[in-house]
Structure 1
Amino acid sequence: MRPVDLAREHGISTQAVRNYERDGFLPSAARTPGGYRIYTARHAAALRAYLALVPAYGHQDAGRIMNALHCGGPAGPDEALGLIDRGHGGLLRDRDTLDAVKRAVDHLAADPDGVPGDPATGPGPRTIGELAHRLGVTPATLRTWEGLGILTPARDPATGYRAYRADDVRDAELAHLLRRGGYPLDHIATVVQQVRGAGSTEALSDALADWQRRLTARGRAMLDAASRLSPYLDLLDAAPA
């Protein structure tokens, strides 16, 4: 096969195919005496797998998965599968967070006078480091959110350190969820402030419905990626050592 043969199936450029090979997303191609690349069914399966992985796990992790498969070591497939497992774990966590935010919205609709903290966040206020670790972000990110009004933590009167209580953790979880969904920070600030102020939740409901659709699409993309990756793994297993 020529680069154009692989490119035509997916509506991409031949340069993209060459770039994917260069970056290790495809196995290295043999060359003709004239220096032209020779692609095979194995390369075609690799390209199908990579392009299916992108909407499921993102460009970065899709590339890391394929790089792991092509690293040549016996641990490569396990590393690739570990990345896939972490992607599924992240999707499940997003679903759990979405469910928690939906419960907060339901409470707002029933009790517009206030939003209680989530007992699941645990007793006592959290430090900025503890909250950052919980969300998987940096403390600098939380300070940025505070500067935009997304978070409004109190200060410990003895130390002056930020103290994130249950409502703050809820706001941070909501901001993190919407940020992962691609929402700009100014939109997130508006939504979180609406929740905090027990005002209209229409904007939040619309955002959550859109994120639910995104999660469903990502879950289905993961199923499609698995159907493309499994045959490629079979080809790798069958390849001579």
Structure 2
Amino acid sequence: MGRNLKNGERLRPVDLARGHGLSTQAIRNYEEAGILPAAGRTPTGYRTYTSVHAGALRAFLALAPGHGHQTATSIMRAVNEDAAEEGFRLIDESHAQLLDDRRTLQAVENALRDLDPTTASGPGARSEPAAVSGSGGTFIGPLAEQLGIRPATLRKWERAGLVRPRRDPVTGYRVYDEADVRDARLAHQLRRGGYLLEQIAPLLAQVRAAGGLEPLEGALRDWHARLSARSRAMLTGAAELEAYLRLRG
């Protein structure tokens, strides 16, 4: 809100909405969703709000950028239902997901190092399991199992240009060589990082053509920036939620 509220001061929906650029319908929707506590009512049935409602709105709007709209809604609903521990559990899950996303980014960066042709086949390079005898590659089933995905996903990635397996001349089965396995691993990590197939395909094409990591450096910087923004948003959300909990008493 743009001004300090006195205890017990009554606010109309428009008063609550105006300070955040929201509509009065949004305020009613937030109340119905449990984001805000139930409003008071005038003798004629009009909704009235207080500084507690204003604090709830500030907390929700601060939580949403870091936790997402759905989780922020669940957190506020839990707090408003006097189940703060459930809200804290949801917050912990978001932080765990953020940590997992950071680990995924690190895994992507580690995977990218394998794209360097001077190291990919050097001493200590990782050999791939389930190689096809005499073909120097891996079939779709073992590769899908190794990545923890379905074979249908690999076929989808092939249609999108992410992987380019050859066909065994005898069986007609797809055979993934070392470069295909590398690209599949990289695609898998980028998908976990939230990238779309249409975003990944040109990156991999550039990497193949350039033989280096430069095409992905911008994507990685953007990924780092998004994770940092989420971290800061979570800090802001935590501060506003703590202030709201104090208002509730």
Q: Same fold (TM over 0.5)?
A: yes
Aligned with residue 209 of structure 1, among 221, 225, 249: 221
Q: Is the radius of gyration larger for structure 1 or structure 2?
A: 2
Q: 1:111 aligns to what SS in structure 2?
A: helix
CA contact (8 A) 2:42 2:48 kept: yes
Q: 2:102 aligns to what SS in structure 1?
A: helix
Give the direction of change, closer, same or farther, for the CA distance of 1:148–1:84 in structure 2 (3 Å limit).
same
C-alpha distance in 2, partners of 1:59/1:172? Answer: 26
Q: 2:162 aligns to what SS in structure 1?
A: coil
Deviation at 1:202, TM superposition (A): 2.8
Deviation at 1:146, TM superposition (A): 4.0
2:106 aligned with 1:99: yes
What RMSD, in angstroms, separates the aligned Cα atoms of the two structures?
3.6
Give the direction of change, closer, same or farther, for the CA distance of 1:35–1:206 in structure 2 (3 Å limit).
same
TM-score by length of 1: 0.75
Give the direction of change, closer, same or farther, for the CA distance of 1:43–1:231 in structure 2 (3 Å limit).
same
2:184 aligned with 1:172: no
Structure number with higher helix proportion: 1
CA contact (8 A) 2:75 2:87 kept: yes
C-alpha distance in 2, partners of 1:231/1:8? Answer: 21
The residue aligned with 1:227 is 239
Percentage of matched positions with identical amino acids:
47
Gaps of 5+ in 1: 133-137
**Residues 1-241 of structure 1: pairs in structure 2 closer than 5 A:** 1-72=11-82, 76-108=83-115, 111=118, 125=142, 127-128=144-145, 131-132=148-149, 143-151=155-163, 167=182, 168-177=184-193, 180=194, 183-195=195-207, 199-236=211-248, 238=249
Number of residue-to-residue matches in the alignment: 222
Give the direction of change, closer, same or farther, for the CA distance of 1:49–1:100 in structure 2 (3 Å limit).
same
Give the direction of change, closer, same or farther, for the CA distance of 1:131–1:152 in structure 2 (3 Å limit).
farther
CA contact (8 A) 1:128 1:164 kept: no
Give the direction of change, closer, same or farther, for the CA distance of 1:153–1:230 in structure 2 (3 Å limit).
farther
